[in-house]
Amino acid sequence: MFPVLVALGGAGFALYFSNKLYFSGGKCYETGRLDGKLVIVTGANTGIGKETAAELARRGANVIMACRNMDRAEATKSDILTTYSKENPEALTRNVPNSTISERLTPVHPEQLMIEKLDLSSFRSVRTFVDRIREKGYQVDILINNAGIFETLYGKTEDGFERHIGVNHLGPFLLTELLIPVLKRNPNGSRIIFVSSRGHRSARMSLLPLNTERDKYNYFQCYYRSKLANAMYTAYLGRTFKSDGIQTASVHPGVVVTDILRNDKLLDNLLSKTVCFAERKIEIRSQIAYLQCNLLGTLRVHSFLLFDWVDPS
C-alpha cells in the first residue's frame, strides 16, 4: 500500500510542477503605461480577454471590446468598472504583484471601454466590424486576436468552415488583413498580437485541407492546428510588414480556468481538476504575455515571438 501512496504522491507533485513550469503564465512586472493608445481586444467579454481589457485600461489604454454577445459585453464592462473604477477604494491594489505596479495604475473610466459587435464565425460580421472602425476614424495602436473556441462537437461556421479553423484562425486572419491598412497608417507604429498556445507543438500537419470534415474530426487536432496556423501567420506578418512599423507577437498566456469549454462540462471539469487545479481563477498571471508585448517599448524582433514565461529579472 505504501508504494502505491508514494507513487500517487509523486504523480501529484509532478502534475503540480508541470502545471507551474509548462502550462502557467508568469506575473507582469512591467511598469509602462499605454495612455492614449487604442487597443482592439477580441473576445473581451469573458476569460482572459476580459482580464486583458481591464489591465490595459488600468494602464491608460482605450479598449475596443470586440464581442459576439453584446449583453455579456455590457455586463463585463459594468463588472470591470465596479472592480477598477475610482468608486472602488481597492481599484489600484486588486490583482497586482507588488506595490510598484500599483503606483503606475489609474482607475478605469467608462469612456475607456467601447463595445463593438464582432462574430468571428461570420466573415460578414468581420467586414462590418472593420467598416465601423474605418468610418469612426479610429487610429488603432494594438490588435489583440484573443477570441477562440475549443469544442468537442463538430460544427461549421456561417461560411462553411470547421469551427476551430474558422473561429480561431480564418476569422482573425480576415480581421487582421482588413485592418492592416489602418495599422500601417499609424505614425507611431502598431502591433498585432495573436493568442497561440503551446498546444500548437502537438499539431499533426499533413497535406489534408485545414477545413476538416465531420468524418475526420479530431477536436484536439483541430484546435492545435488552428493555433499553429496563428503562429505561422504571425511569423509571416512580422517578416512582411517589418518596414511598415508593424510589430507582431504570438503568445501563450498560460493555462487558467476560463469558460472556453463552456459547451463541454465533462472536459471542463476534468481539466479544471488536473492541469488547471493550481489556477482556480483568472489572475494577473493570465494576461502576462499580452501585457509584456504591449508595454515593452520595442519588441526584440519584428516577427514571431512565443511569450509564455516572464523572468522579472
Domain positions in the chain: 28-307
Kindly provide the residue ranges of all beta strands, DSSP E only, lying in the chain, ordered along the sequence: 38-42, 62-67, 113-117, 142-145, 190-195, 246-251, 306-307
pTM of the predicted model over 0.75: yes
β-strand partners of 307: 251
Q: What is the dihedral of CA 287, 293, 294, 300, to 10 degrees?
A: 160
The pLDDT > 90 percentage for the chain reads 46
Using CA atoms, how far residue 81 sits from 54, 100, 102, 284, in Å, is 9, 22, 17, 17
Between residues 184 and 310, which one has the greater pLDDT?
A: 184
Q: Is the pLDDT of residue 98 over 90?
A: no
Which pLDDT does position 48 carry in this prediction?
Answer: 83
**Element of type H or E holding 126:** helix 123-135
Classify domain 28-307 at the CATH superfamily level: NAD(P)-binding Rossmann-like Domain (3.40.50.720)
Which pLDDT does position 52 carry in this prediction?
Answer: 87
Q: Is the pLDDT of residue 279 over 60?
A: no
In the three-class reduction of DSSP (H, G, I as helix; E, B as strand; rest coil), residue 93 is classed as coil
Residue identified by cell 488547471 is: 276
Where residue 218 falls among pLDDT bands split at 50, 70, 90? confident
Which pLDDT does position 192 carry in this prediction?
Answer: 93
Grid cell of 264 as nine digits? 463541454
Where residue 215 falls among pLDDT bands split at 50, 70, 90? confident
Q: Is the pLDDT of residue 123 over 90?
A: yes
Helices (H), 142-264: 163, 171-184, 219-240
Residue identified by cell 505561422 is: 232
- Residues labelled catalytic: 223
Mean per-residue pLDDT over the chain, rounded: 78
